[in-house]
Structure 1
Amino acid sequence: MPDQLESRLRAEGERLDIDQPPLAVIAARAAALRRRRLAARTGAAALAALVVAGVTLAARHDPRPAPTAVASGPADAPSGTWSAEGITISGLAHLPQDLPGSIREAEFADAERGYLLTADCCTTWISATADGGRTWRTVPSPLSGLPKLIATPDRITLLGPAPGLERATSTDGEHWSTDASPAAPAAPLTGESRLVALDGGECGAPTAGLTGTALAPVPRQPPLEVCWRSPVRAGDGSWWVGGRTADAGPAVAVSRDNGATWTVTAFPGFPGTARAAMLGRGVYVTIVAPQEAAAAPERLVAVAASADGGATFGPAHPTAGQATIGGDLVPLLDGRLLIVDGYGHWLVSEDEGISWVRLEGLHTTMRLSRTEAGYVAYRMTTIYTAFSVDGSTWQKLDAQ
């Protein structure tokens, strides 16, 4: 296990260029988790049978003892630490800073430098932190409407809504330059590019690379209806998109030559669309489908895994029951997978998404999202936003 963790950590660290926890700390955490799980399995033979059958559901009763939760106050208190099965949320020493509007997007370029996009009915603001979210500086957005917020190691970019696609960039979140020039001709992606929808849409929109204020379609469009574009490059430098094909259903595509060619992997027999999450050489595809009712959370239909960077995938395993998912799947350094469901519960899987166990004692959280330097948790106990480098240790942001 230490060798596996070290290789995963090194791959992510080289790409993100941020400090990672010492290997000894991670290995100790993983060993402790294994001991607790072994003890739980020893005293719960009935549960072991259910896991083998692959029918453990987050929504059903979990026969194991509830995970230990340690807290110094109620879940909405401005301090304390909450922990369950290796997932920890750290509170704040005081109430969060009251920023204008409500938080719509959060991005972190590294563990210290982060940005928030907040908005009310008529105005949008950008807030920047240089100390991991403890203090914030706020300025009005240089673009009208509700732009998309994109952070890379050397700059923050705002991409205006279609059809104008006006762009603005800054190195500190306070001083901005704008660009309203049309998209350039198709060009190869670079290490600084971010994949975006060319016309601001979602499913079916052309895919482009955004580098600073330069916006250009990829050299060749992925051969599928793209509904999701990875916010970061994989550890091996590849680019990922997901969606569906007309004849084979959910599918992902990867480019290893900066958008010149794309390799498609389809998962026929399932409804919905596909998207991916990457950690080191591991790639995990989630197949999701919308609920029939309006505004209902997405259904998690199946999960497929690859251990070789997406060159090959195992079969897509259907997720038992009516599981839902809020945002992105998070691969953890100890080999587990983490999601929040559409109702705010934290769930983990030890079998690559076949079965999920609900964690008790953590803040309800409605969405997890990948950013350049880690992950963001939205609507934590309604009012909080939190950030994590590795998906296991979360820190509430001092902003509301």
Structure 2
Amino acid sequence: MPDQLEARLRAERERLDIDLPPLSAIAVRAAALRRRRRAARAAVAALAAVALAGMGAAVAALRAGGTPPAPTAAASTAAPIWTADGITIQGLPHLPADLPGSVRSAEFLDGDRGFLLTGDPGDSGAAWISATTDGGRTWTTAPSPMAGRQTLVAGTGWVTLIGDAPDYPRASTTDGEHWTSAASPPGAAAALGGDARLVPLDAAGCGARTGSLAGTVLAEPPGPPGITACWWSPVRAGDGAWWVGGRTADGTPAVSVSRDGGEHWSVTAFPGFPATAYARAAMLGRDVYVTVVAAPDSAGAPERLLAVAASADGGVTFGPAHPTAGQATIGGDLVPLLDGRLLIVDGYGHWLVSADRGASWHRVEGLHATMRLARTEAGYLAYQMADIYTAFSVDGLTWQKLDAQ
């Protein structure tokens, strides 16, 4: 659960009506800023050295009675940067390094430590795990300790690969080098611990049972969420809650939240949408945003974004669900930004922001087409950015391309 210091700070913020991000998010952002400043100072020093060397060569040539060498373009390690509407993408000075296979998923435990799951096409193909300790600039790659289809799940300080029923093979690590393995059906129902993360059992779509994973320990929560689950939050909310999204028995989009370790669940439904629609949530501090989405109209098409509803009290109450205009689509998760706006990418790669809690959306021009945004333990990930890139952000405002593809 959140540490005592963060709980005390949260209590003071609520008393004074100050809305700040959790202490952990502030610390991660500060560390990322320090790394960028160090990198900038190093780049300036390198450019200065190149310039001095060139001046020295010109002076030597003049003293020898010759002509100075023709000017040449100074070697630069500066990476390109794209910025629009307050969203920044920091590029690489070169094409991303080739890893075996293609990127399937990624997780970051903090601003430095991250993991990439890559693999050959098909669930039965070979897979690899790559680990970084410098924010995605360099990677160490090794074959996955598991075979077959596998999903990457992150908790506080660990990542776990989990396979399919009936034995749900699992392998967990903190560094990508040393692994602990297990293979067994979920154990007896147990209260969700502070380090537990929710995962689907049986299948990855609507109707799967809800399980909890902590390292290699797999169990079911003591009480069911009370809805047909279609989505399981990959992180625990800042107030310690666990969220599940889906629909009620009569087909109404709904979310369910537990604040007592999975013993009891509270359901909020959003009527007025097709029976094929379902709901999922995004959290930042005490703000909770529910997106109502519907399955694609055809195979390979993106999900449709039907509406957004907002809560300012941790999901206890929600305002009306604002319908989206036209045939709006969404690629992955909604990202609540620290400046109060909401960010998504649509199913065609466009970036969009909302300044009115999802009531209307504005397209951001000048950024790479990106097909999906996803929540991770320490921030957010962007997939298929300009086709070949994966990027990481601690806050959704500044994105760093990973040196891997």
TM-score, normalised to structure 1's length? 0.82
Partner of 1:20: 29
* 1:277 and 2:289 aligned: no
Partner of 2:105: 105
Gap regions ≥5 residues in structure 2: 1-12, 32-77
Partner of 1:375: 380
Partner of 1:229: 232
Partner of 2:371: 366
Q: Secondary structure at the match of 2:107?
A: strand
Q: Secondary structure at the match of 1:19?
A: helix
Gap regions ≥5 residues in structure 1: 23-77
4+ residue stretches of structure 1 with deviation over 3 A? Answer: 6-10
Deviation at 1:108? 0.3
* 1:194 and 2:197 aligned: yes
Partner of 1:161: 164
Q: Is the 8 A contact 2:155 2:235 kept in 1?
A: no
Q: Could you tell me which of 289, 292, 296 is aligned with 1:287?
A: 292
Q: Is the 8 A contact 1:89 1:394 kept in 2?
A: yes
Deviation at 1:120? 0.5
* 1:267 and 2:270 aligned: yes
Deviation at 1:248? 5.5
- Equivalent-residue separation in structure 1 for 2:380 and 2:200 (angstroms): 21
- Equivalent-residue separation in structure 1 for 2:225 and 2:160 (angstroms): 24
Q: Is the 8 A contact 2:180 2:216 kept in 1?
A: no
Q: Secondary structure at the match of 2:29?
A: coil
Partner of 1:306: 311
Which string of whole-angstrom CA distances, capped at 9 and with x for unpartnered residues, describes residues 116-145 of structure 1? 000013200000000000000001011111
- Equivalent-residue separation in structure 2 for 1:275 and 1:206 (angstroms): 16
Partner of 2:44: none
Q: Could you tell me which of 322, 347, 350 is aligned with 2:327?
A: 322
- Equivalent-residue separation in structure 2 for 1:202 and 1:10 (angstroms): 32
- Equivalent-residue separation in structure 2 for 1:7 and 1:391 (angstroms): 21
Count of paired positions = 342
Q: Is the 8 A contact 1:18 1:111 kept in 2?
A: no
- Equivalent-residue separation in structure 1 for 2:359 and 2:30 (angstroms): 29
- Equivalent-residue separation in structure 1 for 2:393 and 2:226 (angstroms): 34
Q: Could you tell me which of 328, 332, 339 is aligned with 2:337?
A: 332
381-390 or 165-174, which deviates more:
165-174
- Equivalent-residue separation in structure 2 for 1:374 and 1:240 (angstroms): 17
- Equivalent-residue separation in structure 1 for 2:361 and 2:191 (angstroms): 40
Q: Is the 8 A contact 1:165 1:199 kept in 2?
A: no
- Equivalent-residue separation in structure 2 for 1:357 and 1:10 (angstroms): 24
Q: Could you tell me which of 105, 125, 130 is aligned with 1:127?
A: 130
Q: Is the 8 A contact 1:195 1:231 kept in 2?
A: yes
Q: Secondary structure at the match of 2:28?
A: coil
Q: Go from structure 1 to structure 2 and tell me whether the alpha carbon gap of 1:188 and 1:17 turns closer, same or farther (over 3 Å shift).
A: farther
Partner of 2:84: 84
- Equivalent-residue separation in structure 1 for 2:106 and 2:353 (angstroms): 24
- Max Rg structure: 2
Q: Percent identity?
A: 66
Q: Is the 8 A contact 1:7 1:280 kept in 2?
A: no
- Equivalent-residue separation in structure 1 for 2:248 and 2:294 (angstroms): 14
Deviation at 1:97? 1.1
Q: Whose relative contact order is higher, 1 or 2, with alpha carbons under 8 Å and at least 6 apart?
A: 1
Q: Could you tell me which of 134, 146, 150 is aligned with 2:153?
A: 150
- Equivalent-residue separation in structure 2 for 1:233 and 1:328 (angstroms): 15
Deviation at 1:381? 0.3
- Equivalent-residue separation in structure 2 for 1:326 and 1:10 (angstroms): 25
Which string of whole-angstrom CA distances, capped at 9 and with x for unpartnered residues, describes residues 86-122 of structure 1? 0000001222111000000010000100000000132
Q: Could you tell me which of 177, 180, 198 is aligned with 2:180?
A: 177
Deviation at 1:162? 2.8
Partner of 1:46: none
- Equivalent-residue separation in structure 2 for 1:293 and 1:202 (angstroms): 17
Partner of 1:65: none
Which string of whole-angstrom CA distances, capped at 9 and with x for unpartnered residues, describes residues 367-400 of structure 1? 0000000000000000000000000000000001
Amino acid in structure 2 at the alignment position of 1:378 = Y
- Equivalent-residue separation in structure 2 for 1:8 and 1:377 (angstroms): 26
Q: Could you tell me which of 371, 377, 398 is aligned with 1:393?
A: 398
- Equivalent-residue separation in structure 1 for 2:168 and 2:331 (angstroms): 28
Amino acid in structure 1 at the alignment position of 2:129 = I
- Equivalent-residue separation in structure 1 for 2:26 and 2:190 (angstroms): 26
Deviation at 1:154? 1.9
* 1:246 and 2:255 aligned: no
Deviation at 1:18? 3.6
Q: Is the 8 A contact 2:243 2:258 kept in 1?
A: yes
Partner of 1:116: 116
